[in-house]
Amino acid sequence: MTDEHGEPAPLDGNGLGGVLGAFLGVDVTDAILVCDGCGRQQVLAALVVFGAGPGGVARCRGCSHVMLRVAEIRNELVVDLRGTTRLRLRRP
């Protein structure tokens, strides 16, 4: 799916939930993240994600600050949370 400019359309955070869940063994789409840019609290599923194939960048829905970067490289998952002040996961 593309936007009006022919660019790949952004997804919501569920686009990263699959790859994160496969490695972590739990559904993380309801994990709460706090944006380092604006302080907004939101669940992973609410983030705006670009390029969710083998990797993706998740941005804050409020201020567009990059909060999370995820890449699957061979048999490893690389997660960069530099744009996130806090990550809260619920016990299954």
**With 0-12 CB in 10 A as exposed, 13-18 as middle and 19+ as buried, what is 37?**
middle
Query: What's the total number of domains in the chain?
Result: 1
Phi and psi (nearest 5°) for 17?
Answer: -60, -35
15 in a structural domain = yes
pLDDT of residue 91: 80
Q: Is the pLDDT of residue 6 over 70?
A: no
52 in a structural domain = yes
> Which pTM was predicted?
0.84
Where residue 48 falls among pLDDT bands split at 50, 70, 90?
A: very high
Domain membership of residue 50 as a residue range: 11-88
What average pLDDT score do residues 65-85 get? 94
The CB-side HSE value for 2 (13 A sphere, CA atoms) comes to: 4
Where residue 32 falls among pLDDT bands split at 50, 70, 90?
A: very high
